[in-house]
Amino acid sequence: MSILAGILYSNEILFQGFIDGLVYALIAMGLVLIYKATGVINFAQGAIGTFGGFVMGMLMVNYGLPYWLAAILAIAASAVFQQSPNFW
C-alpha cells in the first residue's frame, strides 16, 4: 500500500511542478513582450500579480470564501489596481 501511495504522491508533485513551470513561463513571456515592445524593463506585472495573490489569500483566510470566488474577485481587484494610476 505504501508503494501505491508513493506513486500517487510523486504524480501529484510532477503535476504541480508542471503547473508551476507553466506559470513561470507565462510570467517570463510577459516580461519579454513588454521589454521587446518598449525597450524598458518593467516589473509592474509582478506587483499586480502579487497584489492579486494577496487579495485572494486574504479573501480565503479572513472571509472564508471558496477558492473560485476568491480567484474571480482577486482578478477583478488586480484589474482595478492596474488601472488605478490612470485615474489620478
CA distances from 55 to 45, 52, 61, 69, 83 (A): 15, 5, 10, 12, 16
Per-residue pLDDT of the chain (88 residues; tens, 9 = 90+): 566 666 667 788 889 899 999 989 998 998 999 999 999 888 888 888 899 999 999 999 999 999 999 999 999 999 999 888 877 6
Give the model's pLDDT for residue 19. 92
What is the Cα–Cα distance from 27 to 49, expressed in whole angstroms?
10
Give the model's pLDDT for residue 32. 93
Three cell numbers, residue 31: 516580461
Full-model pTM:
0.64
Give the model's pLDDT for residue 79. 92
